[in-house]
């Protein structure tokens, strides 16, 4: 009988952490628009280990409205324009990582990107974007990325970059970078 309880506890004593969560600053270059709009926002992610070198993670990011300059055809006249567009991205997928206090990783995630249109403040716009996922302009998204994270005990920093592709009459490629703290247990 003691053997039955000893085997599971021996398996649980492996040398890797089981849960990570973190927040991040998000940069998204929406390349389909002319001119390209560089969005900045905030996001969060949670992950759990399925193997010492493989995590399954989910993340969500909300980008704030942006101002950009529109130049007219005469090349002299410009106008400052506020975009009401606010992307909301949700992705899930595996992360394949090295071991040690500094980890290099690659990831592939799928999910969606929702293009909400709002003139509300950031918190109301986020709630509206969540409510508009099923009724709004939501597109399937595919994200291949790579990065590095460093840990000092349970606290770390993570930098990741990739191509946040969505599909609307073909693949639309958009450069994305995230950076922020990670906590592991």
Give pLDDT, residue 2: 47
The enclosing H or E element of 67 equals strand 66-71
Check whether 72 has a pLDDT greater than 70: no
Contact, 29 vs 40, CB < 8 A?
no
Q: Is 17 helix (H, G, I), strand (E, B) or coil?
A: coil
Percent of the residues in the chain that have a pLDDT greater than 90, as a whole number:
46
What phi and psi, each to the nearest 5 degrees, are found at residue 9? -70, -30
pLDDT band at 104 (very low <50, low <70, confident <90, very high): very high
Looking at residues 122-140, what average pLDDT do you find? Answer: 59
The whole-angstrom separation of Cα 106 and Cα 79 is 41
pLDDT band at 53 (very low <50, low <70, confident <90, very high): very high
| Spatial CB neighbours of 110, under 8 Å, sequence gap ≥ 6 | 91, 92, 93, 140, 141, 142, 143
Give pLDDT, residue 70: 61
What phi and psi, each to the nearest 5 degrees, are found at residue 10? -65, -35
Q: Is 58 helix (H, G, I), strand (E, B) or coil?
A: strand
């Amino acid at each position: 009988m003691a053997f039955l309880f000893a085997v599971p506890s021996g398996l649980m004593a492996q040398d890797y952490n089981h849960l990570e969560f973190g927040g991040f600053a998000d940069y998204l270059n929406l390349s389909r628009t002319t001119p390209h709009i560089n969005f900045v926002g905030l996001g969060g992610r949670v992950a759990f280990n399925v193997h010492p070198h493989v995590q399954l993670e989910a993340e969500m990011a909300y980008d704030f409205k942006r101002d950009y300059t529109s130049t007219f055809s005469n090349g002299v006249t410009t106008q400052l324009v506020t975009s009401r567009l606010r992307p909301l991205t949700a992705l899930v997928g595996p992360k394949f990582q090295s071991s040690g206090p500094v980890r290099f990783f690659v990831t592939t995630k799928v999910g969606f990107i929702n293009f909400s249109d709002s003139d509300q403040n950031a918190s109301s716009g986020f709630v509206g974007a969540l409510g508009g996922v099923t009724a709004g302009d939501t597109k399937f998204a595919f994200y291949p990325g790579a990065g590095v994270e460093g840990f000092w005990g349970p606290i770390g920093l993570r930098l990741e970059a990739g191509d946040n592709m969505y599909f609307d009459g073909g693949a639309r490629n958009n450069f994305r970078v995230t950076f922020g703290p990670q906590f592991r247990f």
